[in-house]
Amino acid sequence: MPGQHPTTPHQHPATRRRSPASPSGLRVGVVGTGYVGLTSAACLARRGHRVRGVDTDHDKITALGRGEVRIGEPGLDELVRRGLDAGTLSFGTDLASLSEADVVLLCVPTPSGADGTADLRAFDAVLSGLDGVLAPDCVVAVKSTVPVGTTDRAARALGRPAVSNPEFLREGHAAHDFLHPDRIVVGAHDDAAADRVAALYAGIGAPVVRTDPASAELAKYASNAFLALKLSYVNVLAELCERVRADIADVAAVMRLDPRIGGAFLSPGPGWGGSCLPKDVRALLSTAGQAGVDFALLADAVAANEHQHDRVVRAVRTAVTGTPDGSLAGVRLGLLGLTFKAGTDDLRDSPALAVASRLSAAGAVLTGYDPGLDRAAADSTASAGVQLVDDVSLAAKDASGLVLLTEWSEFTRLDWAHLAELTERAVLVDTRDLVNPDELARAGVRCHRLGR
């Protein structure tokens, strides 16, 4: 049933005595303290609920208990510390500590398996661990991105209503997106269970879409896959612009003025990646295949994304050697940005690292700088052939070219004249169209941009 605002939740009589809920909120358990789980726990505590986060990682839980957040997410550390100080947020490793919860959110990872399907082993282990632990009227809500039918399977396994409550958080903006969402999706067969989950967000001001669990589960995959389609489209369009001597910035500016298209995700780049889009696209393709649907459009978007990595390498070859087939053997390159997007320390499925791996395989000697990374990430970048440095000047020193791969705003404020002096050849391949070309020209830097 579609609706705009949550109703007052029905209360099921419990057969065991429980301490009374907080007058200003619900007792909430959050299983999994990764990006989604920790953000959900901290933000729900900020909204006045009493939240218990549970994870199997003892070291992580100990650190969180001290207010130490190991995820590079703006504002999240402050929210965790405020929740701990206020007594509305706590952490532990024992699922039994959720025995008095009104709602339990499942936020465990569901990575891609070898065949593209979601790996639900961690999810199923949690279901097994919760069996017999929860109070009779506790509602389980699935925030993990899961295949269609998983929420119904969880309900059968636990013998209670389960609700699909997918997250739509952007890394780098996760806390803001949770507290100021553009929509809240509640998929359930049981109205009382749906009301209980919707009550978590009461007064938040966003539209609440009430639907069945399958539609809610599919909506998450569909949303991320559409963003991937849009990014692949603009990257292929940028290549076309180069061939016909058009300008992708002007073409995209015209497109953005059409409200049917919208302005976001219309900038070319080195490809799409991160912890969500690649995984969710593969899972949706798997779901479509199992259902007998030929989702060729989405498969082509994946192929276009792989092609984009190779296209960036050709752009680097052209900029540095003068020809798209020029040798990069022994050529020193400085990479600016290695995370999959600005505002995060996440290297998972980073297009920057995909490009770096190809450059390294071609014989290039790579030094990389990223303002979101510290020395602890050196092993991860080394696997892509990149020596991580903590100063952009070290990335530029003696380089035959610089390649900007992540859209950190810091890069717009660099002293490009100084960097030009450090390089062997003052060339920048700006895959994000981030830096003002006039500023680069004044600094003596020759700039190559995609789609121009």
State the catalytic residue, choosing from 43, 107, 138, 276. 276
Q: How far is CA 40 from CA 27, 150, 160, 397, in A?
A: 13, 20, 22, 43
- Phi, psi torsion values for 210, nearest 5 degrees: -100, 125
Question: H/E element holding 403?
Answer: strand 401-404
Collapsing DSSP to helix, strand or coil, 138 comes out as coil
Sheet holding 386-389, edge to edge: 386-389, 365-369, 332-336, 401-404, 427-430, 446-449
Question: H/E element holding 335?
Answer: strand 332-336
Q: How far is CA 161 from CA 9, 62, 147, 187, 196, in A?
A: 14, 32, 18, 11, 11
- Phi, psi torsion values for 229, nearest 5 degrees: -60, -45
The Cα–Cα gap between 376 and 385 comes to: 16
Chain CA centroid to CA 185, Å: 18
Active site residue 241: no
Taking alpha carbons only, the member of 181, 186, 274, 196 closest to residue 231 is 274
| Alpha helices for 56-100 (secondary structure H) | 58-65, 76-86
Catalytic residues, by residue number, are: 276
